[in-house]
């Protein structure tokens, strides 16, 4: 039952992320948790500091997203953190349907162009306008957070909108692998091949993780060949160039390099400022003058994701505490995230283990002792905040846990930090130590 609830909530969250602005999602919707279902009613738990606001302002949004996932009208009730499910056994939540929709926010119009991404943007647009003809395959690489996923999904959105009935398939390598494993186990590989070899445009994110998946590499190789032979467009993204993908067979690396390979570089100050202005306008973030946005752009230099995350952090702090967003506030909040080298996973685990009086081995073990479990959640939170690692990558670094576990940990510690109690102060202290400002 719990797995069903988590699966359903992940689908509802996906709908909410598409419907809401980034600011609204991060501050008011991301901390929510589906805890029970009783007939056509969902019980959603909200932290104390946002519960009344969510109940007053966002119930229609929640109900509409839930209805799309469940396939019928549904009532949503916002409950307190201490609320317990009804004594009667709740009805099972219907399993979500397969498939993944593109995020409509990822379009070429919303992509801010600069010197570091101009060629990648032009190549992606050409592939979208002439699928299978312009650049095929198209290989987009760059460090995490620079816009690879945005460009991939922009291609898909463009093809669906202007392609006169063209079909699009987007998936990460993790999703490609999961579907392939399920197909093998259920003996439905023909249906799997149909899903990934027959669309007009196939978009695969994070192909660097193929190196870890022996059986998937073989299937992906055949999928690649099938797409090429039929003239369908393939676009893939990676954090490295094809020749630098350790553990990838040469024949597959050569195929990736056979088309156009384009890279993304970190944005300069003017581009960062343009990104912030666009985000503030699209998300309806008020109370930000240009001087404050310039200050954010100066402090965060490594990636678009970090830049947008910094804006959300400043907005959240100012909103929850009733303060104005000023350059001084930006310096206070983001100063510790300046030009210092970002800590890696090992450093975060070591520092967190020391703080909680346990070992690094405890953090990656399977023990569920409360003191270790909470320390593990803190370390996962800090890894997500201070690095560009994905939820899936973080899970692998903590003993092979799945992305849902990492997401849950990040949400729980985010709530603790926002509450401002002793635990939040411990987390802030650790963060300051890790970025070298204490």
Tell me, what's the pLDDT at 22?
67
Tell me, what's the pLDDT at 436?
54
Show the DSSP H helices in 345-402 as ranges: 345-356, 360-364, 370-386, 391-397
Q: 144, 321, 301, 139: which is closest to 235 by C-alpha?
A: 139
Question: pLDDT by residue for the chain (438 residues), tens digit each?
Answer: 444 677 788 888 878 877 777 667 777 888 888 888 877 789 998 887 778 778 877 888 898 888 888 888 888 999 887 777 765 444 444 433 334 568 888 899 989 998 889 999 999 999 999 999 889 899 999 988 889 999 999 999 999 999 888 999 998 888 888 888 888 888 888 889 999 999 999 999 988 888 767 778 888 999 999 999 999 999 999 988 988 887 777 888 899 999 999 999 988 888 889 988 888 877 666 667 888 888 888 888 878 878 887 887 787 777 766 777 888 888 877 765 444 456 788 889 999 999 999 999 999 998 888 889 999 999 999 998 887 677 778 888 998 888 778 888 888 888 787 676 788 788 888 887 776 543
Q: 103, 12, 94, 100: which is closest to 61 by C-alpha?
A: 12
Domain ranges, ordered by start, for the chain: 2-79, 118-263, 269-337, 345-434
The tokens describing 216, both together, are: 């998937």
In CATH, which superfamily holds the domain spanning 345-434?
Answer: DnaA protein, C-terminal DNA-binding domain (1.10.1750.10)
Instruction: Determine the 3-state secondary structure of 133 from DSSP.
Output: coil
Tell me which DSSP letter residue 95 carries: P
Q: Same CATH fold, 345-434 and 118-263?
A: no
Contacts of 2 (CB under 8 A, 6+ apart): none
CATH topology of domain 2-79: GMP Synthetase; Chain A, domain 3 (3.30.300)
Q: Does domain 118-263 have CATH number 1.10.1750.10?
A: no
Q: Which residues of 291-300 are buried (b: 16+ CB within 10 A; e: fewer)?
A: ebbbbbbbbb
Burial class (CB in 10 A: 0-12, 13-18, 19+), 302: middle
The pairs formed by 422-429 with CB atoms below 8 angstroms and a separation of 24 or more are: 426/355, 426/378, 427/378, 427/381, 427/382, 429/355
338 backbone dihedrals φ, ψ, rounded to 5°:
-70, -140
Q: What is the spatial distance between Cα 331 and Cα 308, in angstroms, rounded to a whole number?
A: 16
Whether the full predicted model's pTM is greater than 0.95, yes or no, is: no
Taking the CB of residue 109, how many other CB atoms lie within 10 A of it? Answer: 8
């Amino acid at each position: 039952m719990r797995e069903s609830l988590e699966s359903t909530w992940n689908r509802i969250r996906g709908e909410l992320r598409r419907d809401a602005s980034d600011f609204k999602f991060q501050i008011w919707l991301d901390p929510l948790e589906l805890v029970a279902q009783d007939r056509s009613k969902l019980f959603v738990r909200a932290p104390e500091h946002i519960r009344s606001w969510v109940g007053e302002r966002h119930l229609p949004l929640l109900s509409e997203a839930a209805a799309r996932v469940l396939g019928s009208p549904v009532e949503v009730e916002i409950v307190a953190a201490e609320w317990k499910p009804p004594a009667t056994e709740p009805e099972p939540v219907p399993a979500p349907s397969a498939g993944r929709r593109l995020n409509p926010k990822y379009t070429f119009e919303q992509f801010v162009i600069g010197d570091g991404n101009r060629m990648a943007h032009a190549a992606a647009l050409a592939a979208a306008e002439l699928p299978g003809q312009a650049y095929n395959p198209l290989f987009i690489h760059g460090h995490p957070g620079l816009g690879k996923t945005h460009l991939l999904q922009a291609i898909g959105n463009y093809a669906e909108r202007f392609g006169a009935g063209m079909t699009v398939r987007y998936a990460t390598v993790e999703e490609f692998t999961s579907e392939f494993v399920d197909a093998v186990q259920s003996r439905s590989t023909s249906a799997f091949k149909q899903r990934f070899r027959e669309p007009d445009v196939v978009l695969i994110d994070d192909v660097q993780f193929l190196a870890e998946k022996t059986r998937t590499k073989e299937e992906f190789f055949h999928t690649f060949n099938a797409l090429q032979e039929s003239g369908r467009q393939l676009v893939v993204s990676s954090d490295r160039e094809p020749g630098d993908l350790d553990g990838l067979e040469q024949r597959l690396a050569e195929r990736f390099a056979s088309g156009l390979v384009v890279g993304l570089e970190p944005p300069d100050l003017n581009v960062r400022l343009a990104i912030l202005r666009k985000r503030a306008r699209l998300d309806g973030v008020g109370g930000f003058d240009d001087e404050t946005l310039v200050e954010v752009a100066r402090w965060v230099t490594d990636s678009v994701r970090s830049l947008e995350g910094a804006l959300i952090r400043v907005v959240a702090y100012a909103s929850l505490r009733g303060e104005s967003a000023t350059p001084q506030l930006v310096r206070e909040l983001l100063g510790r995230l300046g030009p210092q080298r970002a800590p890696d996973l090992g450093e975060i685990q070591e520092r967190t283990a020391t703080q909680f009086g346990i070992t690094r081995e405890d953090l990656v073990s399977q023990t569920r002792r409360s003191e270790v479990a909470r320390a593990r959640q803190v370390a996962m939170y800090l890894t997500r905040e201070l690095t560009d690692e994905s939820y899936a990558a973080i899970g692998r670094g903590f003993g092979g846990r799945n992305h849902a576990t990492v997401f849950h940990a990040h949400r729980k510690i985010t709530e603790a930090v926002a509450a401002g109690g002793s635990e939040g102060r411990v987390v802030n202290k650790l963060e300051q130590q890790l970025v070298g400002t204490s």
